[in-house]
Amino acid sequence: MKRKVILNIEDFLNDFHYFKLKGYDVFQYPFQNGSKLIVINSTPYEDGLMLEIQLAVRIDKLEELIFNFYKQETDKLSLSYYKNIAQIYSDMPKRYLIQNEIQLSRTIAEIENALVKKGFNWLDELANLNTFSSYLIETIFKSTQKPTNIFKLCQRSYLMRLLLGEKITDAIFYEYYEQLQLSKAPEHQLEEFIEFNKFLKAESI
């Protein structure tokens, strides 16, 4: 069933210039600063296939610097930001359980509809670095429900502002640090964020 899902959606995504990454259930649309990505997450069960679609943006320079901080080789599938498609287009469930061909056809049609109505536009907007930066700031500081991956978002938002040439003061750094504290980030992440800031200063970012 998983192969049928990929085959059914591939032609549609190819029409919008999203092409499958070899070896991954991911469709990529490269742009100057990174990639727009559609991630197909599927889990087989005895009674069917659970399907979940994530929309993501990867900013290459962001991921390169963050992986340099951790002294690791850059993961080409590390995501700078992602959302379940249901968070962008609310007229669909977060996950689908596909048990037969009829459900498969209906699910693919709903996913395609959601991408055309909202998903592709959302990805296009976030491919603009200034819009991407503003979106992260909004998510971190103004969202009523704090994201579970707040540490990664703070890292990427803070670095993105630096890459865009914004003058980052100690006060701005501590705004992020405070958000981590309010989100009850563990002590090692608070220390890591301080070290991350020192790394960026040493790199003259």
42-63 pLDDT, tens digit per residue, is: 999 989 999 999 999 999 999 9
pLDDT of residue 101: 92
pLDDT of residue 3: 86
User: Which tokens belong to 122?
Assistant: 């959302």
d(CA 135, CA 137): 5
Closest CA to 36 of 110, 122, 147, 114: 122
d(CA 200, CA 172): 14
pLDDT of residue 75: 84
pLDDT of residue 115: 98
pLDDT of residue 175: 97
pLDDT of residue 1: 79
| Sites in the chain below the pLDDT cut of 50 | none
First-to-last C-alpha distance (Å) of the chain: 47
pLDDT of residue 55: 98
Whether the predicted model's global pTM rises above the 0.95 cut: no
pLDDT of residue 30: 97
Q: Helical H runs in the chain?
A: 2-15, 60-69, 85-88, 101-114, 120-126, 129-141, 150-163, 170-182, 187-202
pLDDT of residue 203: 87
How crowded is the C-beta side of 193, counted as CA atoms within 13 Å?
Answer: 24
Read off φ and ψ for residue 84, nearest 5 degrees: -65, 140
